[in-house]
Structure 1
Amino acid sequence: MSAATRVFMARLAGTQVFDPIGDEVGRVRDAVVLVRAKGAPRAVGLVVEVPGRRRVFLPLTRVTAIDAGQVISTGLLNMRRFEQRAMESLVLGELLDRTVRFTDGSGEATVEDLSITRQRTGDWLVDQLFVRRKQPARGLSLRRRGETLVVPVGAVTGLAGSTEEQGATKLLEAYEDLRPADLADVLHELGDTRRLEVASALDDERLADVLEELPEDDQVAIVSRLDSDRAADVLEAMQPDDAADLLNELPDEQAARLLELMEPEEAKDVRRLLSYDEDTAGGLMTTEPVILGPETSIATALAQIRKQDLPPALASMVF
């Protein structure tokens, strides 16, 4: 096997995966490790996104090389959708930004990356962590961020602990180039607590775009746990028809409160759409149609629809 002896996992995000003859089969979206009570965590595989936005599991035993900018597999890829097991942890989704404590009692740090090394047995073990020390609050300090250092995995505790106080900065950095639909897939796969942490860290426009791509249950779970003012701001950034659909799924009292917090001009279109039953033409329409001239060809009209990234409900309603 010609894989690198040490691989930092956060740097693998988005890396292309190729089969032995050089055809791309997907891109790395995460890595799976087993965090054990004793001994170093063991890396068991990669989560790879293949065409169709499906995420599948690629065991590290089927990886023949990990080089700069590429992962080479044996070509044997199980296309069954990846499902995380109880004992497994996702590196990007769950371990980055986690708070750990130094075993020497010198304080706490935040995990920004971790490395795995291939052993003579063929196993890949997590051997080092790239961490940033947490600075104690000391009034107006000129040094805003703690020092970074690489430490052995045994030098800290808490890697397998609770996700409380876990941030989302590094995970979002790893996924900053993802389209909203792809980031929505990432959020859908996360646990409820981690999903909210990541959603809360997104700016209003980005979160609005991602919410529009999420299943209704996920939308409701996120918006219901946001601060009301923040939730109203995000609804304002959404397409009116998507915002109306989401409000329809919320309890009446909560939906009414969010509408009151929205800017009147933004809320007007949403209120109008909410006045229609969901299964009527009015309930399916958008308040922002694309208007084209009578001389416009069908091909140009379709191109304009795609360019505007319109909701599917409008795809056949261009005048």
Structure 2
Amino acid sequence: MAAGAPRFFVSHISGVAAFDPAGDQVGRVRDLVVMLRVGGRPPRLLGLVVELPSRRRIFLPMNRVTAVQAGQVITTGVLNVRRFEQRPTERLVFGELLDRRVTLVETGEEVTVLDLSVHQLPARRGWVIDRVFVRKGKKGGAFRRGKGETLTVEWSAVSGFSLEEQGQGAESLLATFEQLRPADLANVLHHLSAKRRAEVAAALDDDRLADVLEELPEDDQVEILGKLKEERAAHVLEAMDPDDAADLLSELPEEDKERLLDLMQPDDAADMRRLMAYEEHTAGGLMTTEPIVLRPDATVADALARIRNPDLSPAHAAQVYVCRPPEETPTGKYLGTVHFQRLLRDPPYTLVGSILDDDLQSLAPEASLPLVAGFFATYDMVAAPVVDEAGALLGAVTVDDVLDHMLPDDWRETEFHLNEDDAPDRDDGAEGGSGADDADGRDVGDDDEGVVTDGGRA
């Protein structure tokens, strides 16, 4: 895409970095905000939803965008850092328009929206969505190769964008965000409407949805799980970390919880029941029942092979626990821990039983949250073993679980790099743009008869 290109497809700027004139990164583009207009007129692009490094989402008006280049958006550097809130007459392109089933006006044929083209009006008088990239064929076939003809048509050649659609697909939206980490995709889902959130969750595979659920607030977790078929909900719970799954199950009504436990594999259900037997804010309630456990005659090479598993979090891969058989929790006698750094220092043939850290204290399952937090702070640990009175390893607590329970319930909604009360006031005048801006920079234009209105905004 050439510098200052007057046209781009929305899929090309998903997740791209936004920079100020000095070359410093402001954030990343997460969505586009448009206002639909009557009479088949192309929607006006009001601005971009940009996610700051603090994970706050702000509104960047298009009259603050000086260039849309390959892999980046350049801004004037004048930003309003107030949190973005969608208005009733506004539509989010990625969240609401992609994957929509619309109708070709000429033939009456239903097609699926794969992408949208944005065009800059002459004399820099704003941006509009003027073309639609669609695929013919049955619903749900958006990204299946060879399934249906694709074509680009003018905006006026289709109808159906203004209607509420039930069962909207999510393939294009997921393709747009497929490279996001689970925490970032969870942030995307949290900001979607409940309807769209359920559609995206339904389109994710079980493992990906499990990873995302672990990063969502409890209310979102319960809402999404409640909209899944029970059998699938049980599979997703099995794919989650046991401690996170147990926390989620604890939020459900008793009859729903028992029904899902009955649908789960017996071993997984047993882990869930065992974890839920502990008080929430204790080591037993915080721990995972699936740490890396090795027998003392395993080698360093065996241990390194286990921690190379890409599905393990860094905290879980930081150390291995050496126990007598059985190796499934609750294990045989817990002997000690081998830290990742020690594994890197010793030859591959070394037995882990010979390099144990057996001086490190373990946590009792009833240890309180402050005691657990004090343990991590005292010993500079990221994970710790939980051992019962008989000396069996029950599981391991990781520092992220401790933080999850020590931070405020709404910590995912809180930015730690920029406090909302400390946000500087910004001048959002319409410098370089057409028409006038309202209070937070929405460009309302001055040449659009028939624009859908919102409280005085044309």
| Fold match by TM threshold 0.5 | yes
- Greater RCO (CA < 8 Å, at least 6 residues apart): 2
Task: After TM superposition, give the deviation of residue 210 of structure 1 in Å.
Answer: 0.3
> 1:99 — aligned with what?
101
| Partner AA of 1:313 in structure 2 | D
Q: How far apart are residue 309 of structure 1 and its match?
A: 11
1:285, distance to aligned residue in structure 2 (A)? 2.8
Contact 2:135 2:149 in 1 (8 A): yes
Q: Is the 8 A contact 1:107 1:134 kept in 2?
A: no
Q: 1:165 to 1:309 in 2, by over 3 A?
A: farther
Q: CA shift at 1:116, angstroms?
A: 1.2
Query: How far apart in 1 are the matches of 2:289 and 2:42?
Result: 55
**Aligned counterparts of 1:52 and 1:89: Cα–Cα separation in 2:** 24
Q: Is residue 2:34 matched to residue 1:20?
A: no
Is 2:117 the partner of 1:29? no
Q: Give secondary structure in 1 for the equivalent of 2:175.
A: helix
Identity %: 55
Letter in 2 for 1:269: D
TM-superposed CA distance for 1:314, in Å, is 5.1
Q: Give the one of 211, 233, 254 matched to 1:252.
A: 254
Deviation at 1:122, TM superposition (A): 1.5
* 1:206-217 superposed matches below 5 A: 206-217=208-219
Query: What is the match of residue 284 of structure 2?
Result: 282
* TM-score, L = length of structure 2: 0.63
Q: Cα distance 1:135–1:255, how it changes in 2: closer, same or farther (>3 A)?
A: closer
Match of 2:401 among 299, 309, 313: 313
1:179 and 2:181 correspond: yes
* 1:3 corresponds to 2:91: no
Instruction: Describe the shift of the 1:135–1:313 C-alpha distance in structure 2 as closer, same or farther (beyond 3 A).
Output: closer
- Report the counterpart of residue 127 of structure 1 in structure 2: 130
Q: How do 1:16-165 and structure 2 match up within 5 A?
A: 16-38=17-39, 39-120=41-122, 122-135=125-138, 145-165=147-167
Q: 1:178 to 1:309 in 2, by over 3 A?
A: farther
The residue number in structure 2 matching 1:221 is 223
**CA deviation string 1:123-170 (max 9, x = no partner):** 11110000111259xxxxxx9611000000000000121121310001
> CA 1:239/1:3 → structure 2, altered by over 3 Å: closer, same or farther?
same
d(CA) in 1 for partners of 2:202, 2:397: 24
- 3-state SS in 2 of match to 1:282: helix
Whose radius of gyration is greater, 1 or 2? 2
- Taking the aligned partners of 2:119 and 2:274, their CA distance within structure 1 comes to 58
Q: Which residue of 2 aligns with 1:140?
A: none
* Inter-partner Cα distance in structure 1 for 2:382 and 2:284: 25
User: In the aligned structure 2, how far is the partner of 1:78 from the partner of 1:33?
Assistant: 18
Greater helix fraction, Structure 1 or Structure 2:
1
* Matching of residues 262-277 of structure 1 within 5 Å: 262-277=264-279
Contact 2:283 2:397 in 1 (8 A): no
The 2-side partners of 1:52 and 1:267 are apart by 37
In structure 2, the CA distance between the partners of 1:314 and 1:215, relative to structure 1 (3 Å rule), is closer
Distance 1:148 1:311, change over 3 A: farther
Structure 2 residues not aligned, in runs of 5+:
140-144, 292-318, 322-336, 339-356, 361-375, 385-395, 404-458
CA RMSD of aligned residues (A): 2.6
Preserved CA contact (<8 Å) 2:286 2:397: no
* Helix, strand or coil at the partner of 1:84: coil
Match of 2:391 in 1: none
